[in-house]
C-alpha cells in the first residue's frame, strides 16, 4: 500500500514538472513570437500618421523601451494575475474577449469530435476486421481524402452546394440576424443557452447553422481516429488472446468488441484527446470560412488588425487547453491501465 502511494506521488510529481516546463516554454514562445513578428503594435494603436512624439510616448507606455527579460517578467506577472493585456480593437481586456469567444469554439469542436468518434471508431474497427477487403479500402480512402483535401476548399464547396444551390442548411454565422439578442448569454453555448431560455426556434436555427462546420470538423477528426483505430485493432486482432477466445467458441462480436476493442480503448484515449486538441487548434480556417464567432475567428481577425495582445492571448489559451487535455489523457490512461496506475510502466 505504501509503495503504491509512493508510486502515485512520483507520477503526480512528474506530471506537474512536465506540465510546468511545457507551459513555461509555451509562454516564452508566444512572447518571443510577439516580439519578432513583423507587426508593430504601437502603429496599430496610434496609426501611421501619428507624430514621432506620440509614437514614442505609446512605445514607452507599452514597455517596449525596457530590456527583453524585464518585458518577459512583466508579461509573466500579468499572466499570473489573469492580465492578458488590452485588445487594441475591442478596447476590452483580452481575457474578457477570450471568455466570450472560446465557448463557441468549444461547442463546435465538441460536436465535431463526437461525430468523429461515433463514426471513426466503428469504421476503423470494421476496416481492421475486414483487412484488405472493400470495407478496409473504403475507410482508407475516406481517411486519405480527410488528410489531403484542404479544409477551406471543402468548406467553400459545402457552402456552395448545400447552402447556395440546395438550400438545405443555413449559411455562415452562428444564428440568423433575426435571432440576435433573443437568448440571454449564460454559458456561451448557443445550443445550451437557447434550451435554458426555452427558445426552440433559436435552437433549431443554430443547429442549421452548425451542421456544415461541425460535420467538416468531424470529417477531419474521423479521418485521424479511424486510421489510428484501424492500426490498433489490427495489432490486437493478431494477438494470441484473440485466437484463444475464438478457440473457446466466443462469438466474433464478443471477440472484436469485448476483447480486442476493449484493449485498444486505452491507447485510443490519447488519440481522441489529441484529436480534440487538434480541432481546437485547427478551427481558425473553419471559423473564418463560416463566420463562426469563436476563438479561431477572433485570432484571425486580430492578426489582420495587428492586435498582438489578442493573438498571443488566444494562442496561449489554446496551448493551455491542449496541455490540459494531454494531462487528462494521462490521468484516464492511468485509471484504465493498472500498470500505469501502479507506476510499473
C-alpha cell at 133: 477487403
Tell me the three state secondary structure of residue 84. coil
Q: What is the pLDDT along the chain (345 residues), one digit of tens a residue?
A: 566 666 656 666 666 777 778 888 888 887 887 777 766 777 767 777 777 777 778 777 777 778 878 888 888 888 888 788 888 777 788 888 888 888 888 888 899 999 999 999 999 999 988 988 888 899 889 888 887 888 888 888 888 888 888 888 888 888 888 887 778 888 888 888 888 888 888 899 889 989 999 999 889 889 889 989 998 888 888 888 878 888 787 777 888 887 788 888 888 888 888 888 888 776 778 888 888 888 888 888 887 777 778 888 888 888 888 888 877 777 776 666 655 555 544
Distance CA 218, CA 214 (A): 6
Handedness of CA 264, 269, 272, 275 (dihedral sign): negative
Tell me the three state secondary structure of residue 266. helix
Tell me the three state secondary structure of residue 86. strand
Helix and strand numbers, DSSP H then E, in the chain: 16, 0
Distance of alpha carbon 270 from its chain centroid, rounded? Answer: 14
CATH superfamily of 101-340: MetI-like (1.10.3720.10)
The secondary structure element, H or E, covering residue 101 is helix 94-129
What is the DSSP annotation of 113-158?
Answer: HHHHHHHHHHHHHHHHHTTTSHHHHHHHHHHHHHHHS-HHHHHHHH
Contact between 270 and 329 under an 8 Å Cβ cutoff? The reply is: yes
Task: Sketch the domain layout of the chain as residue ranges.
Answer: 2-80, 101-340
Amino acid at each position: 500500500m505504501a509503495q503504491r502511494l509512493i508510486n502515485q506521488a512520483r507520477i503526480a510529481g512528474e506530471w506537474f514538472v512536465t506540465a510546468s516546463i511545457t507551459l513555461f516554454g509555451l509562454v516564452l514562445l508566444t512572447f518571443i513570437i510577439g516580439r519578432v513578428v513583423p507587426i508593430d503594435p504601437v502603429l496599430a494603436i496610434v496609426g501611421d500618421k501619428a507624430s514621432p512624439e506620440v509614437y514614442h510616448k505609446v512605445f514607452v507606455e507599452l514597455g517596449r523601451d525596457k530590456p527583453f527579460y524585464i518585458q518577459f517578467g512583466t508579461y509573466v506577472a500579468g499572466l499570473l494575475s489573469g492580465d492578458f493585456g488590452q485588445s487594441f480593437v475591442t478596447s476590452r481586456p483580452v481575457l474578457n474577449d477570450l471568455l466570450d469567444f472560446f465557448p463557441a469554439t468549444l461547442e463546435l469542436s465538441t460536436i465535431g469530435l463526437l461525430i468523429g468518434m461515433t463514426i471513426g471508431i466503428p469504421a476503423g474497427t470494421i476496416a481492421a476486421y475486414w483487412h484488405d477487403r472493400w470495407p478496409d479500402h473504403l475507410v482508407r480512402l475516406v481517411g486519405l481524402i480527410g488528410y489531403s483535401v484542404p479544409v477551406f476548399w471543402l468548406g467553400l464547396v459545402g457552402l456552395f452546394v448545400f447552402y447556395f444551390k440546395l438550400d438545405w442548411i443555413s449559411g455562415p454565422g452562428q444564428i440568423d440576424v433575426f435571432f440576435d439578442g433573443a437568448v440571454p448569454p449564460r454559458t456561451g453555448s448557443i445550443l445550451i443557452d437557447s434550451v435554458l431560455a426555452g427558445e426552440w426556434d433559436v435552437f433549431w436555427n443554430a443547429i442549421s447553422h452548425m451542421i456544415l462546420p461541425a460535420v467538416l470538423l468531424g470529417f477531419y477528426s474521423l479521418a485521424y481516429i479511424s486510421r489510428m483505430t484501424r492500426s490498433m485493432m489490427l495489432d490486437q486482432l493478431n494477438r494470441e488472446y484473440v485466437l484463444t477466445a475464438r478457440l473457446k467458441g466466443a462469438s466474433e462480436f464478443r471477440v472484436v468488441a469485448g476483447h480486442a476493442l476493449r484493449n485498444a480503448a486505452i491507447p485510443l484515449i490519447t488519440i481522441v484527446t489529441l484529436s480534440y486538441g487538434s480541432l481546437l487548434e485547427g478551427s481558425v480556417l473553419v471559423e473564418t470560412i463560416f463566420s463562426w464567432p469563436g476563438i479561431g475567428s477572433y485570432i484571425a481577425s486580430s492578426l489582420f488588425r495587428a492586435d498582438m495582445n489578442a493573438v498571443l492571448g488566444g494562442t496561449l489559451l489554446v496551448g493551455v487547453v491542449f496541455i490540459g487535455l494531454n494531462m487528462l489523457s494521462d490521468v484516464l490512461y492511468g485509471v484504465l491501465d493498472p500498470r500505469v496506475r501502479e507506476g510499473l510502466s
